[in-house]
Amino acid sequence: MSQFDFQALGKNVREPRRQLEVFPKPAGVTRVVMDSDEVTSLCPVTGQPDWETVVIEYAPDNYCIESKSLKLYLWSFREEGVFCEALASQIAQDVYSACKPFWCKVTVVQKPRGGIRISATATAGEL
């Protein structure tokens, strides 16, 4: 796939995808922050739904993450049983693998269940 052969952008996609697409970094961009407060997953033990806010920060080298592919990627966790900490780690590794930034930091904040809010941060590369 060439960097402009997008599989999601500009297309009618009606299902989640675990593929992050990239495009060439524009000149002068040194930091990108993307966040969503509409991420859901399942507790891996009880199967109960969890709602998360995900904040992705990275220092792009040559590529940036395309936002529609990120939306579909985050949607892919909806039916997956995963702890908050593992979700942060998985997203950080996937972003790092997809766009190969200098560094990547992902923070996942799980909305309270049982009165406890969980916040987990994972990094990849050198901050």
The region that residue 20 occupies, defined by phi over 0 for left and psi between -120 and 50 for alpha, beta otherwise, is beta
Q: Is 50 a catalytic residue?
A: yes
Of 5, 37, 43, 84, catalytic: 43
Of 37, 50, 64, 104, catalytic: 50
Whether the per-residue pLDDT at 10 is higher than 60: the answer is no
The pLDDT confidence band at residue 7, using thresholds 50, 70 and 90, is: low
User: pLDDT per residue over 101-122, tens digit each?
Assistant: 999 999 999 999 889 999 999 9
Contact in structure between 54 and 91 (CB atoms under 8 Å): yes
User: pLDDT per residue over 51-100, tens digit each?
Assistant: 999 999 999 999 999 999 999 999 999 999 999 999 999 999 999 999 99
The Cα 40–Cα 42 span in angstroms is 7
- Closest by CA position to 87, among listed 32, 126, 127, 44: 44
37-125 belongs to CATH 3.30.1130.10: yes
The Cα 66–Cα 28 span in angstroms is 17
